[in-house]
Structures are given as structure tokens and as C-alpha cells.
Structure 1
Amino acid sequence: MSRVVLEVDVNGEELFFVDKDVLARFCGRIRRLVVATGAASARRHPRVALHGFPGGPEAFELVARFCYADGGLCAVTAANACVLRCAAEFLDMAAAAAAAPSLVRMTEKALEEMPHWPWHTVVDAVKQCQRLLPLADSIGAFDAAVSALVSQMAVPPPAGDATPTSSSPESAAFRFSVDTKSSSLSLRGSCVSRTWWFEDLVALGPGTVERVASALVARGTDHGVIARFLFYYLKCRIAGASAEDKKAMLEASVAVMAVLDRSAVSCKGLFGILRIAAPLKLADACQERLVAMIGRKLDHATLDNLLVPAPPGTGSSLYDVSLVLGFLAAFLRGGASDEPARLKKAGKLIDLYLAEVAPDPSLRPAKFLELATALPAPARDCHDALYRAIDVYFQVHSRLTDEEKMKICRGLSYEKLSPECCKHLARNVDFPTRAAVQALASQHTVLKSIVLREPGQLLNPVSPPPSTTGKRCGGGGGGGENDDDEGQVILYAGRLDLSLENQNLRSLLDGMHWRVMELEKVCSRMKTQMTKMKARRGGGRAARSLPRMCS
């Protein structure tokens, strides 16, 4: 019986002439392709094309030798087990007769021994599998290689293998995340022994790194070690990579970091990722994970970390205030509001940030107010820094109406202002008069409560002389002695023996005293003008009531 020569085109790279019957005996795919092309073809030799054949011409040659030698001349080794397993799957070689050798069974048996292969052989198998995706994944070869790799990471490096010096956290490449508690242990021998594999895995692709790191998490590996490896991987690979590769590496790393303990991931490193990612437009889910991770560690951030430029083309402000608001929301969602120390650290940081963004003429009032009021009241024991930021904002945004200014002033707690700041606010022409009155009233209440609490002090509320007494401005001309005292600001000017620590009370009294005098003069002038207007109108209808501040 004459043999039928079959032409096999492998990936358009090489043409093989093989015995059709020999290959068809072992390869179900070859049998089907021969039938599809037709045995009575006009061509001298029937021809089939294998597109996307795993391993290329080299792997097909090994398969052909296996078929010709009835399984005797094809040695399955650690170096070719993965590719031959994929090739056997591609050619449908699992359907061979039970008595005939099966390349699928031979390769699967070899893969079962993978955990016992030498370290570098396992690394090569993982690299080989990532080139054979998605087929290597669908048949389980990729999982087997990753599992074997992870099982060997937990033990010290094999004898004679040099620990890669570049994987030490002391190296320049590793300074990406050197500020975490976990990395502070990096100089100890135990940590170095757990990171000996860093250098060997740097060449892996982003998807493979994510797969390996996720497997380490599932195995219970120290989260600090996993985080340091991901930062090290990014530091080594990000420079010189294309935008698409950078995006893939960042998204893969962030996906794993999001499931790690908060303390394991460096705040400095996360902001490094954020700055690299800014022009890359990460996937929405990845961006949300990154913002959430940074937000949970906001109390570890610095002012420089927060000064992220606004995205180009927005034109809303110099810095990305919306991003910082996202950090704050994540910070509070993470339960920080129940931890006073962390909350106060965040409050100080946001006050610094407010002072930095306040001079920005493009920052809208609504956004500034949202930022000023984002944290709950316990975050600030004192509102002096917040007042100074608002003061700068009002100076730069001089066209704001009093109504807009009053909305922003709602973020201030006047009771938490120092006497010096309250005195400054009382004389500050950039603040609405209503804000000054509210500040004085609240400080008066605070002062009264403090003085009443002074042990052993006898309070003598003495009315100041008529020229300096704060009175209501709605009575007869000139504000006579019979004016109603309701709502009058009473100054405690008694002769109190104030101790050194209570000298701030005297400063507060002075500020309130002079502010009341100024308001009294304003009210007097307004009352005179209204009287004249009423006289000119002939006393017809009653004059319009005075503004609320003088009523």
C-alpha cells in the first residue's frame, strides 16, 4: 500500500512533509483536516495548515517524531513538558487507542513532577506557559507551573544559588516603598531569605505576576513581602516600557495590593503609582482601588503627596482637589472617624492642603467649601489654620458676594478660634459683618463659660462707659439710656485677677471691645441716613426696617 504524503504548514513559518496515516493515527485534528481538504484533491499532496500551533515548528517536529517512533523517540523533559502538553491538546492527541502511547498522558505525568524540578527550570516553565496562553491556562498547565513556583518560594534558596543583591531593599531600585513598617525589617537576614526570588521573576509579564502574587496571597505568604515584590517589579520594569505595558503592569499590581493588609502597602509607593498612572488613564475599577488604598492610609501622607496637578484640559484648578476629596471619603469609610489620633493627623494635613490651594484663583467656592467641611468636627481642636486658609481665599477671590462668603464661613467653628484669630476676624474687612458678629457672640459665650468656671473668682460685670458700650441700634436717635438691653453684648470688664495662663482672656476682651465700638458707629450712621430719607419722603409710609445686624 502506497503512503500518502501530507504537507503540513505550521504557523506559516515552515512546511513539513509527513506520512498522513502515521500522524492521523495519533492526531484527531489531522484526521479531520485531511477529510475536510478531500483525499481526491487536484494537488499532488494533500495540504493542511496549522495556525497558532503552540511552540511553532520546533514543537511540531517533536510531535512528528513521537508519532513516527510510536512514542519511543520523543523524550518528555522539564524543558519541553509544557509546550508538548499544549501541542498534544491542540492536535487532539488524547483520543489515541488505549494500547498506543499517549502524548497527553506522558506530558501530564511529567507536569505532576513539576514541584520537584530545579528552581530555574520551574521559572522557565512559567515563562513558557505565559507564551502559550490561553491554551496553557485551559488545560491547567499554567496553574501547575505557578503552584510549583509558589511552593518553592517559601523555602530558602537552593545551596549555591546566590541571593540577588539587586533585590535587597537597600538598593536604589527598591526605594519605591521603603517607608512601611514591614520594609523596616528588610535589613534582617530573615527578610532577605524570603526575598531571594525577586530578581528571577522580574522578567515575567504583568498577567503572570498578578497570577503569582495572588497565589502567594492564597498560600498565606507575608503581605509585606508580596507588596515589596510588586513595588520592586514596577521599579525595575516601568522605566522604558511603553504606555500600554505600563498600564498593564500598574493595573496588575494594584489588583493584588488592594487585597493586602493596609499596613503592608507603602503610602509613598502608592503615591508613586498614582503619579505614574496620571497620564495613562487606568481602568475605572483600578483607579477606584488606588484611591481607596491611598485614602485608607491618608494619615501617613505628606503635603507634597497631595499636591497632584489637575488633569490637563479641566481648567478648574491648579491641583486635583476632587482626587483629595476622594481620599478623604475613603479615609472616613475605612473607619478612621473612630480613631481620634488618625483623624487629627488627617485634619492637620488637610489644613496644610487648604492653605496651599487657597491662593488658586480658579478654585471654585463650592469645591473649597467641600474640602473645608469634608472632615468631621473632632478632626480639629483648633480652627486657626482653617480660618487663615479662608482668609487667603477671600483675599484672592475678592468678587465673592457676602452670601457666598457666609456659606464658606459655615465650615468655621468660632468657638475653636484662638483669641488672636477672633480679634483678627473682628477687624478683617474681607469677612462679612455677619461672620464677625457671630464670631464675637460665640467667643463671648466661650469667655463667659471660662470665667464662670474660674474657682474662687467673684464676677463683677461692670458696664463700660457710655462711649464704649455695645448697644442695640434700633432705638431713638443717638441710642439713649433707655434702649432695650435685649441682645446687648455684655463685656466682663471687672477687675479679675487673671493668672498668666488666662492672659488670652484679656486679649479677647480688647478685641470684642473695639469691634463693638466699630459696629455701633456703623449702626449710628445707618440710622441717621434712614431718618433723613424718611424726612425727605414726607413721613408717608414707615421707613424700611434696619438691617438685621442693627435690629
Structure 2
Amino acid sequence: MCVRVDCKKCGKHSWMGCGQHLASLYANIEEGKHCMCKSWPGVVINRPSGGSATASTTAQILFLSTILFRFFFFMGDLFMFCTCFRFCTTGLPGDVAIEVDGMTFHLHKFPLMGKSRKLQEMISEQERSQTTNRFATIQTVSEQNQSNENDEGEGEIREEDNEGQFHIALPNFPGGCVAFETAAKFCYGVKVDLSATNVAALRCAGEYLEMTEEYSEDNLISKAERFLSQTVLKNITYSIKTLTSCEGLLPMAENLGIVQRCIEAIATKAAAADPSLFGWPMNGGAMDGKVESDARRKYGEVTRGAATAESWLDELGFLSVNTFNRLIFTMKALNLSGDIIESCLMNYAKKFIPGISRTTTRKPSAPSNLPSESERRELLEMIISNLPTEKTSRSTSNTTRYLFGLLRTSYILNASEISTRTLEKKIGSQLEQATLDDLLIPSYSYLNETLYDVDCVERILIYFLQRFEERPVTRIEADEEQGNSTLSTALIMVGKLIDGYLSEIASDANLKPEKFYEFAITLPDDARVFDDGLYRAVDVYLKAHPWISEMDREKICGVLDCQKLTLEACTHAAQNERLPLRAVVQVLFFEQLQLRHTISGTILGGGRTEDEEIVDRSRAEEGTTWRAAVSDNQVLRGDMDTMRARVQELERECSIMKKTIGKMENPGRHEHVDNAGWLSKLGCKFKTQVCDSHEPTVAAGRKRSHERRREH
């Protein structure tokens, strides 16, 4: 605060203090009293009694002040920070105090008025108000001086009333004090470095301060718009950063169209991206020479492209849920590839939903940054609803693993049933890419007694099988003509996967026999080339459940098709004490059948060997050796004799077993049990020349299972 000392004897006065009265320097410069302030020594000023400076004088002063401001800027920083205040370090005392978000800026009015229409109007309004108050104050002081003439010659000191000091508050300023400081520097002629993170805030600040091109040439609004259109919107990473910065600028950024323009730019640039860069497309291999160098060069290009794609995908994690949802909606409206949409959703989910990937290397977010459980549930449901329903072209086992991670999280967060079923259908469309570890979903419900959620995996398997049932007739005929179709290969892969899953859950003591049986017969017959994996699951189940009844044991063994057991599996089953007697007999008969077929083929092969022996003898006359062929023939005949002995031994064992079973089931008339009736009682399921089946087969049971699935 400045103080003016008046001498009542001579009427002269002088100034001292902090120099705030120097704001009147912009009003008028004339011969007058000498200023004693150290901040601006040697300047003579005279306060006018009223009125304002002429337009020419104001323009000259504005020009001189701009030159001074630029000079002091190059000498050092323009603003000096002090707690909650910022002072202009030009050496000139400020005449405008502007408050933004609790921060007070002490600036000069003419640079601000030259660029901002809003500040010009607010300062002009306060000038008119201060002029009116000044006249009233002068009149009051004059009356008091006339009535008080005591103590002549003594100096009287009174405080200056802050005339010329303007106080302006800018509530809800977009971008806060940081954006205002940058805009103020722009008003002072300081070069402002625009970037993707501050251009939106400066564009909104220019709109707030009305820094238009019509008011002043090359103003802040036009400068920010050029940077947006020429730099930001042409780069997908810059667009995402600018869109992220708009989160704290709503609703002004939305009204100015910055948000929508950034979203459309991101979607357009993503549509032009190479879909092969999304996912994990690279495979290792052994190469050499020029091929290796070319492959390395291409690998480097793809790696750089994938790194670029990953960089902007990671930037999506800084968007809010609503903004990200709008972006995905725009991508779908532009018919973007499902690979791109799926990659965006997966990367966003990994950012906010921890625990999706069991092998994630991403650093966990701070506890304060993690969303609440309800927010994560809403985010999860939003991601699931936007996932492509069908399998994408670039889908890999990693993608399927993340989908299973989403499924586990949906159970933990108690997501809606619609979201859970939608995700299960999505997984069912690419089940052949899953691993056994993916299927081992813990049972999160207290209603399930089993360790793993078998019902969930069964539903996923049913959704997978519906792909085959919903195929058109033309597609089925084409697949049959090709023989090795993609769907048939996927079905066989799923068959092996389910057999491994059955082996894992078979050791669960709470798994009911009915549940195991129903799940085992869900797959169709052509899903298993061999039943060795299924036999292993049955063996594990019988070993872990020794208390089940004989009827349940026979029912469990009824899922096996002896025609699809290899010789190794048959040998193990024939010696397995856990199998029911009926199942052992079936396995023995099938092993006997396989041996007979092998012997028949060997005999035919032996006949061909004898013919070849004659040819060899004829060649021996020409100088060729035939003793080696004769020796091989003798070895082959020895093997045939051994196999015949083994067959006779098996026939004797079967005959003894036949008599034993006949005595147990029909003690009064076991002598009259013929071969066909005995086989009927055994329930042999394979159609051979040895026995026929008269009981429902596994195929019939699976057929009934498919009919029940169609009803659902």
C-alpha cells in the first residue's frame, strides 16, 4: 500500500511505499511530483483529478509496456511463484489481481485487455465504477479539509485507497490456474508451446476469455484450433492424450466439439491400422542365409508396428468409462474389425480390473486409483456387452485365456446373468483354443459342492457344439466332401480337452456319478478318435469313489466305446481290478478281435512275402541275394506262432469266464446259455463278428443327450 504525505503549509505532497500507485502511469504522464518508490525511481507522475487518457496516449503506453514485458521475459521467468500468489517479474507493479482456483495473479491490465474481450469488459466496468467512487471521495475529503485547520504545518499521513487496482475472480476456469497462467503468458507475447495434453485446456481457456480472431489477430483460439487440426487429429496417440485431457474440461470441451472430433479421429485411424499388429502373431523358426535376414527385417518392422499399436492401446486406459464406451460405439458404427475392438477392450479391462491374467506383468495401480467393486462390475458388464459375439480372425490362446479371466472375475463381482451367459457363448465360439488350465474354474457359489464349476464348463461345451448343429446343409455337405474340415479338427481338439478336464475333476469326492456320466456323453462320437483319455478319466473316478454302487460303476464304464481303445488301453483295462466284471469281459473280447484282425493281416502279409520270396529266388539267379528275405520270413512266422498261442490263451480265459458268469446269473440252466444270449447279458457295445449288442449303446446315450440339448 502506498502512502501520500501532504504538507498543509505549502500544499505539496510526495509518494512513498510499495509503488502500487504507479498504475496511474498508464493514465497520464506529466510533470509533477516525484515518486520516492524504489521499484521505479526517477519517474515523475501526477495523479489526474478525473477523466481518462486519450486513445493515442493509451496506444503509446501499451506499445511501450509490451516492449518492456518482452524484455523482462528474456531476462528471466515472467511469473514469480509465492505460496498462493503469482507476480509478474517485469519490474512494473501489477494493477490487476485475478483469482483462479484459489491462486491470485498480479498482472497488468493492458496486455490482458489487448487479447481478451472478457477481461477488457470486466476491467472497463471496474474503471467506470472506480471513477465514480473517486469523485465522491475527493468531494468528501475536500469538505473535511475545510472544516479542520488545526495544527498548521504538521504533516498528515493517510492510506491510499487502492485506486487503479482491479480485482477479478474467474470461477470455474477451464484447466485451472495452469491453463490461465499459460493464457496470460500468451497475452504478454510469450511463445506458448502447445502439446496434445494442453491444447484442449488452452482452447477452452480462449473460449472462456473470448480470445477470438475478430478481437485480436492470431489469437489463442485460432492458434489452438490449428494445432488440433494439423497435429493432434492426424495422430492416434495424440488424439487419445487430448481426449484424456478433456475429462476435466467438461462440458465446455464437449460443447466445443473437441471430444467428438478426437473420438472420430481415433476410430478412423484405428480402422486404417493393420489388424495383424493386434495380438501375438509372431512365431519362431529356423532360417538361414538371405531368408533369415529378410525375416529379421520383416520381424523388426512388425515388432515396431506392434509396439506402436501397443502404445496407443495403453493410452486408452486413461480414459473414463463413459468416454471409452463412446469410443467403442463409434468404432462399431464405422464397422471396424472385431480384432481391433477386442484388443481395445482387453487392454482397457487389464488396466482397471486386476486378476484377469494370471501371468500379468503390469504394475498394479495404487489403491486410491482402483475403482470400487460396483464400478468394476459396471465396467466389466460394459466390456462384455461390447465384445464381438463371434470368434475373431486373429484370436489366439492368449485371447481365450483373457476371456476366461473375465469369466472368473464376473463370478467374483456377481455380474448379471446376461453378461455371464454372453461371455460363455463368446468362449464357446473359440473353445478349441483353450487349455486345461483355463477350464479349471473354481466354484464360487456356496450352492455347488464340487471344487470346480462343472456346470459352467458344460454350458460352454454346449455352446461350442451348437456351432455344428446350426451349420447349413450346404456347409455340412462341403465339410463332408473335404474330409478334414476346420470344424472337425476343432471338434477333435475339444474332445481331447474335455477328456483331460474329466481326468482332473474325476478326483473330486463331491462329484456325483450322474454328473460325471452326463458330462462324459455330451460330446458326439466323432469328437474322439480314441477313448484312451476317457478311459483314464473313468479309472481316476472309480479310484477316487470306491464307495459307489456296482450299478453306478457299470453306468460310468458304459461311457467307454471298446472299439476306440488302443491295445495298450485294453491291456491295462484287462488287469484293472476297479472295473466291473462286465466291462473287463468286453475289453477282453475286443482285444481278442484286434488280435485276430492283426493275425489275419499278418497271414496275408506272409502270403505276399512268399510271393516276394519266389521273386527273390528268380533274382538270385541273376546275382542278387535272397537269404535275407528268407530269414525275415522265418522271423515273421515265429511271431505268428507266438500270436496264435496268445489268442488260444485268451480264448481259454474267456471260456472259463463265460462258464463262471453263467453259473452266477442262471445257476439252473447255465448249460443252455448260448453264445448270443451270453453276449446280450454282457451288453457288448461293439458290432463285430464275435458278438452283437442288444443294449443301448454310448452313441444312443449321446444322441439322447443332444436331443435334450436341442430342447434347451
Q: Deviations over 1:7-31 (max 9, x none)?
A: xxxxxxxxxxxxxxxxxxxxxxxxx
Is residue 147 from structure 1 mapped to residue 264 from structure 2 by the alignment?
A: yes
- Residue 181 (structure 1) aligned to one of 247, 261, 281: 281
Is residue 318 from structure 1 mapped to residue 454 from structure 2 by the alignment?
A: no
Q: After the TM superposition, which residues 191-202 of structure 1 pair with which residues of structure 2 at under 5 Å, given as runs?
A: 191-202=306-317
In structure 1, the residue matched to 2:563 is 415
Q: Deviations over 1:272-319 (max 9, x none)?
A: 223333311222222122212222222222221111111231243111
In structure 2, the residue matched to 1:477 is none
In structure 1, the residue matched to 2:579 is 431
Which is higher, the Rg of structure 1 or of structure 2? 2
The whole-number CA distance in structure 2 between the counterparts of 1:295 and 1:341 is 15
User: CA 1:301 to 1:122, structure 2 compared with 1: closer, same or farther past 3 Å?
Assistant: closer
Per the TM alignment, residue 320 of structure 1 is displaced from its structure 2 partner at its CA by: 1.0
Per the TM alignment, residue 117 of structure 1 is displaced from its structure 2 partner at its CA by: 7.1
In structure 2, the residue matched to 1:333 is 466
**TM-score, L = length of structure 1:** 0.57
Q: Provide the identity percentage.
A: 26
Q: Secondary structure in 1 aligned to 2:509? A: coil
Per the TM alignment, residue 387 of structure 1 is displaced from its structure 2 partner at its CA by: 1.3
Q: Deviations over 1:404-436 (max 9, x none)?
A: 333323321111112343344345443333333
Segments of 5+ residues of structure 2 without an aligned counterpart are: 1-169, 175-198, 208-220, 285-298, 354-363, 470-484, 608-634, 670-676, 684-712
Q: After the TM superposition, which residues 71-150 of structure 1 pair with which residues of structure 2 at under 5 Å, given as runs?
A: 79=201, 118-119=232-233, 123=240, 126-127=243-244, 143-150=260-267
In structure 2, the residue matched to 1:406 is 554
- Residue 207 (structure 1) aligned to one of 319, 322, 330: 322
**TM-score, L = length of structure 2:** 0.46
The whole-number CA distance in structure 1 between the counterparts of 2:578 and 2:377 is 47
The whole-number CA distance in structure 1 between the counterparts of 2:490 and 2:567 is 27
- Give 1:237's aligned amino acid: F
The whole-number CA distance in structure 1 between the counterparts of 2:496 and 2:644 is 26
Q: Secondary structure in 1 aligned to 2:446? A: coil
Q: Secondary structure in 2 aligned to 1:412? A: coil
Is residue 276 from structure 1 mapped to residue 424 from structure 2 by the alignment?
A: no
- Larger deviation: 345-354 or 111-120? 111-120
- Residue 355 (structure 1) aligned to one of 497, 503, 512: 503
User: CA 1:401 to 1:213, structure 2 compared with 1: closer, same or farther past 3 Å?
Assistant: same
User: CA 1:328 to 1:194, structure 2 compared with 1: closer, same or farther past 3 Å?
Assistant: same
Per the TM alignment, residue 131 of structure 1 is displaced from its structure 2 partner at its CA by: 7.5
Per the TM alignment, residue 191 of structure 1 is displaced from its structure 2 partner at its CA by: 2.8
Q: Deviations over 1:238-284 (max 9, x none)?
A: 25532222223322323333246153361222222233333112222
Per the TM alignment, residue 515 of structure 1 is displaced from its structure 2 partner at its CA by: 4.5
Per the TM alignment, residue 78 of structure 1 is displaced from its structure 2 partner at its CA by: 5.2
- Larger deviation: 417-426 or 348-357? 417-426
In structure 1, the residue matched to 2:491 is 343
User: CA 1:249 to 1:500, structure 2 compared with 1: closer, same or farther past 3 Å?
Assistant: farther
The whole-number CA distance in structure 1 between the counterparts of 2:252 and 2:521 is 54
In structure 2, the residue matched to 1:368 is 516
Q: Deviations over 1:456-485 (max 9, x none)?
A: 3799xxxxxxxxxxxxxxxxxxxxxxxxxx
- Residue 385 (structure 1) aligned to one of 516, 526, 533: 533
User: CA 1:283 to 1:141, structure 2 compared with 1: closer, same or farther past 3 Å?
Assistant: farther
In structure 2, the residue matched to 1:456 is 604
- Give 1:230's aligned amino acid: L
The whole-number CA distance in structure 2 between the counterparts of 1:262 and 1:407 is 42
Q: Secondary structure in 2 aligned to 1:278? A: helix
Is residue 261 from structure 1 mapped to residue 392 from structure 2 by the alignment?
A: yes
- Larger deviation: 310-319 or 400-409? 400-409
Q: Are the counterparts in 1 of residues 240 and 312 from structure 2 also a CA contact under 8 Å?
A: no
Q: Are the counterparts in 1 of residues 200 and 245 from structure 2 also a CA contact under 8 Å?
A: no
Q: Secondary structure in 2 aligned to 1:263? A: coil
The whole-number CA distance in structure 2 between the counterparts of 1:348 and 1:215 is 41
Q: Secondary structure in 2 aligned to 1:274? A: helix
Q: Deviations over 1:317-337 (max 9, x none)?
A: 111111211221222223499
Q: Are the counterparts in 2 of residues 126 and 142 from structure 1 also a CA contact under 8 Å?
A: yes
The whole-number CA distance in structure 2 between the counterparts of 1:228 and 1:128 is 23
Is residue 514 from structure 1 mapped to residue 514 from structure 2 by the alignment?
A: no
Q: After the TM superposition, which residues 22-37 of structure 1 pair with which residues of structure 2 at under 5 Å, given as runs?
A: none
CA RMSD of aligned residues (A): 5.2
Q: Are the counterparts in 2 of residues 425 and 431 from structure 1 also a CA contact under 8 Å?
A: yes
In structure 2, the residue matched to 1:233 is 348
The whole-number CA distance in structure 2 between the counterparts of 1:520 and 1:131 is 89
The whole-number CA distance in structure 1 between the counterparts of 2:349 and 2:647 is 56
Q: Are the counterparts in 1 of residues 271 and 337 from structure 2 also a CA contact under 8 Å?
A: no
Q: Secondary structure in 2 aligned to 1:264? A: coil
- Give 1:319's aligned amino acid: Y
User: CA 1:509 to 1:363, structure 2 compared with 1: closer, same or farther past 3 Å?
Assistant: farther
- Give 1:359's aligned amino acid: S
Per the TM alignment, residue 377 of structure 1 is displaced from its structure 2 partner at its CA by: 1.5
User: CA 1:244 to 1:234, structure 2 compared with 1: closer, same or farther past 3 Å?
Assistant: same
